[in-house]
Amino acid sequence: MTSATRQDTLPPRAAVMMVLLCAVWALNQVAIKLGNDGFPPVLQTGLRSIGGGLLLLGWCVWRRVPLLARDGTLGAGLLVGVIFSVEFMLLYEGMARTTAARGVVFLYTTPVFVALGAHLWLPGDRMTRAKAFGLAAAFAGLLLAFLDSLRLPSRTELTGDLLCLAAAILWAATTLCIKGSTALARARTEKTMLWQIGVSALLIPLGSLALGEDWRIAPGPIALGSLAFQIVIVTFLSYFAWFGLVRRYAASRLSGFTFLTPVFGVGFGAWLLGDPVTPVFGAALALVAAGIWLLNRPVRAT
């Protein structure tokens, strides 16, 4: 495969795979809600990290990935692992308070904060006119979504929305740390993933204990199936499929599909969980999705 092909062409099979991945990532929010019916929120994300970490470690052993090699990733790896841990604790607590449809929209504002942070802190990744319009559209969507939250009879959803938004900001922070760290940027995908999942597998259960969550649980089949879906399909298989696509095709072409995730998420939340979608929130979704598309739109060479 030539460099030009990697940069300029995305074959139909890769496009279909990206649509499927966006659907899986959106369905993850529904799985979190279903899992929260059987597990305390923070404990659930800790179990997800433990399970995903064991699968990833097994993969690394099978593939003989040199995890113990001195490659300068220790400091940055610990930092992104801690941020990743707090991010997921906030996300799962947020999803316990808001709907899956709302949570996925707030979480997937991450590209907005990545673009803003990259412009401020990463040289060579400056703001373009299209990105500026994308930021404006996405932030307008956020304002509409929060106005819709204030109209709800309970403030519980507003708290959940804020926690999911905070998780999105921390997700952006891990992305910027990885991009800004020469060592992590050069490291193998498996090691970068393991820093995040491995550190969170240690820290999040401690966070669950510190928060006083009750570990005397008896989850039913739906909660167990939801947790298994999060561990095997989302944390392990979907991330490897994503990184496999990134190695073969231009990331700018692939990331243009990410606007589909909140769209799918709202659809799945309404269909599977009966989450209400008001006209105002629908307009907010459209603005956020349009903003994400503009931020990730492939730029053709002139």
pLDDT tens digits, residue range 223-281? Answer: 999 999 999 999 999 988 988 887 788 766 787 788 999 999 999 999 999 999 999 99
- 92, part of any domain: yes
- 8, part of any domain: no
Q: What is the pTM of this model?
A: 0.91
Give the C-alpha separation, 270 to 139, whole Å: 23
- Scan for tokens 């900001």, then name that residue: 169
More confidently predicted of 239 and 36: 36
Give the C-alpha separation, 266 to 104, whole Å: 7
Copy the structure tokens of residue 37.
């019916």
- 285, part of any domain: yes
- 12, part of any domain: no
Cα-Cα end-to-end distance for the chain: 23
Q: For 64, left (φ over 0), alpha (ψ -120 to 50), or beta? A: left
* Choice among 146-155, 186-195, 231-240, 287-296 with the minimum mean pLDDT: 146-155
Average pLDDT, integer, range 100-128: 89
- 10, part of any domain: no
* Domain coverage including residue 131: 17-296
- 5, part of any domain: no
Copy the structure tokens of residue 289.
């999705």
Domain count, the chain: 1
Give the C-alpha separation, 183 to 248, whole Å: 21
- 108, part of any domain: yes
- 60, part of any domain: yes
For 4-13, which contacts have Cβ atoms below 8 Å and span 24 or more sequence positions?
6/248, 6/249, 6/250, 7/250, 7/253, 8/250, 10/249, 10/250, 10/253, 10/254
For 126, residues 6+ apart whose C-beta sits below 8 A from its C-beta are 119
CA 122 from centroid of its chain's CA atoms? 21
